[in-house]
Structure formats: structure tokens, C-alpha cells
Amino acid sequence: MKKFFLLFGVASSFVLFSSALAAEVDVDEILKKADNIRNPAESFFMRVEVADTGADARSVFEVSTGGRDKTFIRTLEPARDKGHNLLMLGDDMWAYIPNMKRSVRVSMNQKLSGQSANGDISRMRWYGDYSAKMEKQTDKEWILALSASRKGLTYDRILAKVDKATGRPVSAEYQTIAGKALKRATFGGYKMDEGAVRPHEILIQDAIRSKEVSTIRILQMQVKNFSASTFSQAALSE
């Protein structure tokens, strides 16, 4: 009987100790650090390439951000899509259609190129847009379950893996509100840029059609300030 109570006591202590460790982990801080690694909090300029397998397609964009709530995307390549520019202000987004000579409202989850959505480039943050909880953790990674804090974001749910040693995002599974996998993203190509080691390559794969893959490559990144007119609907047609 003494042996039983001793074993029970050890097991109970382990559970309490594990719970205490889990309670010490601040998931919001983990998410914030992962965001700061993925992209600077300041206003910045990027040149981005999106390559789609299968279709052998390649698109190039100039991305200008004003903090984390304003983004202007100018399409450079392919030539046939030049002028199809995008503007994000808060949770609202517009696309300019050159042959119609007007802008139309679009959503962040609409396809930009291949498996990449508008929001994969225009709204790269997780912290502030998603509520996070610890799904589980391994020796090397935290696995966070993220739920959209409101409608209109790029994805309803995200299962994100973050490296414990560095705070870097490792991968993300983008899901429906019911938890069905839509796409899987892998963050790689880490190198020093604008004061931090950041991912320069994001591989996005369709969860069902695994051969359908888009690779987002950051070709250039620079912290830069922009005038207010950069983020206006008038700029879409320029």
C-alpha cells in the first residue's frame, strides 16, 4: 500500500510540475517574437517573387507597408498582369483592374498566385489577429493553435510550429473554421536582414493536391518610410 501511495504521489507531482511549466509559457510572447522575426514591425519595402510549380509560373511584386495595417502591392511580372495592384487598409482590401479602369473590393483569402493568397503577402502578422493557445510542445518546438479574432482574415485557424531555441516559425497548417487543413507552409531560407535573422523562403503546399506548391521568396527587404499618399486608392491606378 505504501508503494502505491508513493507511486501515486510521484505521478501527481509530475502532473503538477508539468502543468506549472506549461503555465509559465507565455504564448502571446512566443507569437509576438515569431512575428517580429517574420517581418519588421516598422514600415518597410520588399521585392517578392512567387513561383508556382506545375504551371511554371513566376510573379514578382513590390510590397510597401505602413506599419502592420497598411500594405500596397504593385505587380511587376508577368507583363500581362502589370497594373493589377492591391491595397490593404486594416481589414479592407481593393484590387485595381486595368482593363476596367477601376478598383474592386477583394478578400485576403482570395488567390494571389498559385497557392498563395492575398493575405500571405499583404498581412503577414499573427499576433493581434489571432488568439493563441498551447496545443502541445516537444523538446524542440512549441505547437500553437491560433484562432482568428474576427472575420475577414486570411485563415480561420492556424496550427503553427515555433522553434524553442530561436523563436523562429518552422511551419504552419492553415485550416478552415472546422479544423480541416487547407494548406501547409514551411518557413526557410533564414538569413540576416534588417537587424534580424528572417525567413526568405516560404513554401506553401495544398493540403490535398500535394504537387500544387507555391514558393514565396523575399528578394529584397528594406526598412523605409512612405508618404500617406502611398496607401490611397488613387495610387492603385498609377
Give the 3-state secondary structure of residue 19: helix
Mean of the per-residue pLDDT values of the chain = 89
User: What was the pLDDT predicted at 42?
Assistant: 83
- 56 band by pLDDT with thresholds 50, 70 and 90: low
Q: Is the pLDDT of residue 13 over 50?
A: no
Let me know if residue 193 belongs to a domain: yes
Let me know if residue 177 belongs to a domain: yes
Let me know if residue 4 belongs to a domain: no
- 192 band by pLDDT with thresholds 50, 70 and 90: very high
Cβ pair 194, 44 in contact under 8 A? yes
Q: Cell 492556424 maps to which residue?
A: 158
User: Phi/psi class of residue 224: alpha, beta or left (left: φ > 0; alpha: ψ in -120 to 50)?
Assistant: beta
Q: Write the pLDDT tens digit of every residue in 132-164.
A: 999 999 999 999 999 999 999 999 999 999 999
Let me know if residue 46 belongs to a domain: yes
Q: How many domains does the chain have?
A: 1
User: What was the pLDDT predicted at 53?
Assistant: 84
Q: Could you list the residue range(s) of the whole structural domain that residue 133 is in?
A: 25-237
For the chain, the first-to-last Cα distance in angstroms comes to: 82
16-20, 94-98, 224-228: segment of lowest average pLDDT: 16-20
- 183 band by pLDDT with thresholds 50, 70 and 90: very high
pTM of this structure: 0.86
Let me know if residue 20 belongs to a domain: no
Let me know if residue 219 belongs to a domain: yes
23-27, 170-174, 186-190, 214-218: segment of lowest average pLDDT: 23-27
Counted residue by residue, the chain has a size of 238
Let me know if residue 3 belongs to a domain: no
- 57 band by pLDDT with thresholds 50, 70 and 90: confident
User: What was the pLDDT predicted at 55?
Assistant: 58
User: What was the pLDDT predicted at 20?
Assistant: 43
Q: Write the pLDDT tens digit of every residue in 91-137.
A: 999 999 999 899 999 999 999 988 999 999 999 889 999 999 999 99
Q: Is the pLDDT of residue 6 over 50?
A: no
CATH of the domain at 114: 2.50.20.10
Number of CB atoms found within 10 A of residue 133's CB: 9
Cβ pair 165, 179 in contact under 8 A? no
Q: Is the pLDDT of residue 232 over 60?
A: yes
